[in-house]
Amino acid sequence: MATILTILPEGFEEIEAITPIDLWRRAGFDVSVASLSSKTKVTGRSNIAIHADMALGSIAPSLTFDLLFLPGGPGVAHLRESPEVRDLLGRQFVADKWIAAICAAPLVLHDAGLLDGKDFTAHPSTSGELSIPKSDRKVVVDGKIITSPGAGTALPFALHIITSLIGEKRSEEISLSICA
């Protein structure tokens, strides 16, 4: 069973977090949701509160996951300020594990030096800091980094990650079950 860690900061984009978490759990993945703060209640940009499984600080420093996922939204500013997130990203990268970011969250990957020479996408609002190739692709994969531009692409993004981790068949089953 694939293991996924989703990190939620205050102000995360709800669609970009909840849609993937839901689909990945339907696929049978072991999805852990960690709050960036010490509180397990995390409130998104649209004032929807989510109960995280744990605080990020409680995760053992040596632990890696099959996939580390960062949703976007205004909370990306908190992710960018976090040395714990940067360290975890570095460990994932060195361990050759998957890293996924949607919307503005590729900025966090950029700050960690993980986008150098990579093909990626991000929300158009990040264009002042990121050189995003003009593309209509909803999901971009380069090596073990998966990116997507925003809330409207959360569904194909989540399904693509299912394909990447366990194969097309399971992704198609999930897609059919939700009438995608």
Residue 103 known to be catalytic: yes
User: In this structure, are strands 140-142 and 145-148 parallel, antiparallel, or unpaired?
Assistant: antiparallel
Kindly name the residue from 85, 103, 154, 162 that is annotated as catalytic: 103
Phi, psi of 20 (to 5 degrees): -60, -45
Q: Is 109 exposed, middle or buried (0-12, 13-18, 19+ CB in 10 A)?
A: buried
Catalytic residues: 103
